[in-house]
Structures are given as structure tokens and as C-alpha cells.
Amino acid sequence: MCRMACAVKVMAPQKKPRIRDAALRRLLSVVLITLLAVVLLISVLRTNLNSDALTRNSNEIDETYGVGSNYSFGGRKIVPVLNELSILLEKRNRLPPRNIDLFPNLSKDHITIVLYVHNRPQYLQIVVQSLSQVIGINETLLIVSHDGYFEEMNKIVEGIKFCRLKQIYAPYSPHVFPVGFPGVSPADCRDKENPNKNHCEGTADQYGNHRSPKIVSLKHHWWWMMNTVWDGLKETNQHSGHILFIEEDHFIFPNAYRNLQLLTKLKHKKCPNCYAANLAPFDVKSRGEGWESLIAERMGNVGYAFNRTIWRKIHRKAREFCFFDDYNWDITMWATVYPSFGGPVYSLRGPRTSAVHFGKCGLHQGQGEKAACIDNGMVKIEVEETDKVANIKPDWKLHVYRHQTGYQAGFKGWGGWGDVRDRQLCLDFANMYHT
């Protein structure tokens, strides 16, 4: 008995902790499972709430700023995937114009001005200064289209206070993609490398050369800008009048806007076959004839303006534009798009220029070539008294240049645009605002 009692007394204290440990483990298991379930539930609810919020915010932005679901961001298929910077730029494109408080009303028949830029800040400062002196600039909207994002360029534009202003940024610019298409991809072929032999990616142009991102960006930016301005922006996608396009190396005279207003009004009557109006001669070195007559000639690339009807004709030639092996947008237009219209593509202008091309280097050279681009950091352009007021007369007769030299149908292009990825991206831009 004593042994049994003693055994019980000895063993009882050993069994109780085991019972308590087992119960504690069961309790902890229940608590842990419950906590996991709660965390999972909260995570699911938070995900749904965030998703709904993002959807609501996206819809609100789309409804407010007029960028619908067919935009490149979450819309039609675009070859590259947007990175963090390009997403930020795309969101900036949805912001309303600046300076609305200073210029609450635009002129009823205003001609929107689009200035497309890359990275030549010295040039841009000159152009902005010339625009600030343009009579009537306060009546219209100035859109600045950036090929990528460059802080110095952005600061110059943000300093504009003489008109209503909107900035847009090409979110698929090669300059926004430091690694990967449409920028430089580590797997890309270089120069004249053989893709099969060198195990690299790319399609060579007609001369055997592979793509250069900083070169193809010129054509990509122009085409993206045109599609975005005419069909993507709330501020312009219903604009039926003319839109003027200028570059960062175009000096604009004070009378440019008033002259352009006259030209667009006279075009239908004086030159019904004219597609556009130009501020400068087709020959960029010319300052004009000085005659007392209107001039109809080949459409130039300095200060050109056309309306939505002409844009529709251009847009319908997207495949011709995107598949022509030349990295220059203007040569592509002259050599393949315009000839496909079936007749001469004339533009109406005055006998004296209202814009001057002063650039000494191409867009792709950028600010690293400052010394080469501007003599002593300055540009000297003489502006006479007649350049400060409208100097076009409605009763002038029309002189037509019927045979001019320059790029024509049959020119095969300078190359640089042979990669199938560039061509596909170009076609994607043409479709991004259309279902």
C-alpha cells in the first residue's frame, strides 16, 4: 500500500504538466489558426478595397481628363511593358493644363500650338523667348510634347506664364527605358552583327545596320505625339480646326500666329488643293521671296499646320509610315505617305517667312553637344518691323511651285528603321486610341 501510495504521490506530479502542455498546444493551435484566418480575411478585404480604389481613381482620372480605356496604359496592346518612370509620365499626361487661372478663356477659333522637344535646353530657351513675343499667343493653348523626361527641359517649360500650357511626355520613349526595348536591351544586336551567329536580337535595316534607340526615338516621338494630340487628349481630341506644329529649334516671329490665322482662312478659297499652311518656305535656308503674292509649294517641316481631315488621311497611312525604312518622320512623309495620296501635297504660305530653323545639330545629339549646336551659346536672328505685324494680304494672287526638288516617291530611305519591334510599336501607337 505504501508503495502504491508513494508511487501515486510520485507519479501524479509528472502527469499533470503533460496534460497542461497538451491543452496549451491545442489552445495555441486554435489561436494561431484563428489569427491566420483573420489576417487572411483582412488581406483579402484590403486587396479588394485597394483594387476598387485603384479602379475608381483610374476611372475618375479617365472621366476627368478624357483618357479612356483605349489609352496605351491598360488599353490596346503595346509591345513594351511600362516601367515606373513611364507610368509616372503617363499619369502626368492626364493632368489639366497650367495657367488656366491666368488665361481662363481661349479664343473661339484658336489654333492650338504643339511644340515637340527632346533635350536641347539652350534651343528651347530661345524658342520659348520667341513664343513669348508672338502676338495672340495668350489666346491659345500651347502643348509641349517631351521625348522622354529631362529635368532642365521640364523646368524651362514650367516657367512659361504667357499662355495656357499643357505638357505631355512620351511614355514609350527609348530615353525612358535604360534597359530593354524600346531602349537598349543587353540582348540587342549592335551595328552589323548577325543575329544567328552572335545569338542577339534584332532585325537589320536595308543596309544591314541594327537599330539605334536614340535615332529611332525621333520617329517614335513624332508619331506618338500626333496620335495623342489628335485622338488622345481631352483638350484636342474634338478640335476641328488647325493645329500648328513646331520644334525646339524653330524661332517664331511675332507675326506668326496672326499670319497663320489668315492663311488657314484663305486656304479654302485661294488654294483648295492645299493640305496645310506653313510659316516658312520648304527650303529651310530661304527667308521667302518677298513678293506680293501667296505661295503654294511642297509641305515643309518648319511651322506646319493642318486640320483633322488631313490627320485622318495621314492616320489611314499608318502602315506605310510604320514600315518605311527611314528613321526620319519628315522624309517618311515625303517619300511614301504624301505620294500615296494620289496627287501633289501643297501647303499655303506667305511670301516672307514667319519662322526660322536655326538648329545646327539633330535632336538625337542632345545637350552633350552644346558647343556644336549654338555659336557662342547665342542665336542671332534679325526681326524687322514687318515681322512684328501680320503681313499677308487677302487680295493677293497665288503663285504655285509645281516642280520642286527634294525627297520623292521611289526614294528607298536612309535606313535605321528595320527592326520589326519598332514597326510594331509604331502600329500600336496608331491603334492605341481606337477600338
Q: How far apart are CA 320 and CA 333, in angstroms?
A: 9
Beta strand ranges found along 359-419 (DSSP E):
398-400
Rounded Cα distance, 399 and 146, in Å? 37
428 is annotated as contributing to ligand binding = no
Please state, in angstroms and rounded to a whole number, the distance separating the CA atoms of residues 50 and 356.
52
Residue 399: what are its φ and ψ, rounded to 5°? -110, 130
Q: How far, CA to CA in Å, does 369 sit from each of 184, 241, 270, 410?
A: 21, 38, 44, 34
Q: Is 326 annotated as a binding residue?
A: no
E-assigned strand segments in 179-327: 243-247, 250-252, 274-278, 294-298, 304-306
Rounded CA gap, 45 and 57, in Å?
Answer: 18
Burial class, 370, CB count within 10 angstroms (exposed 0-12 / middle 13-18 / buried 19+)? middle
**Beta bridge partner(s), residue 347:** 276, 297
Strands 346-349 and 294-298, sheet pairing = antiparallel
The helix (run of H) or strand (run of E) holding residue 125 is helix 121-132
Q: DSSP class of residue 229? A: I
Beta strands 164-169 and 141-146 are parallel
**Is position 422 annotated in a ligand binding site?**
no
Whether the CB-CB separation of 221 and 145 falls below 8 Å is answered with: yes
Nearest Cα to Cα of residue 227 among 369, 39, 70: 70
Binding-site residues, please? 147, 249, 357
Binding positions for Mn(2+): 249, 357
Binding site residue list for substrate? 147
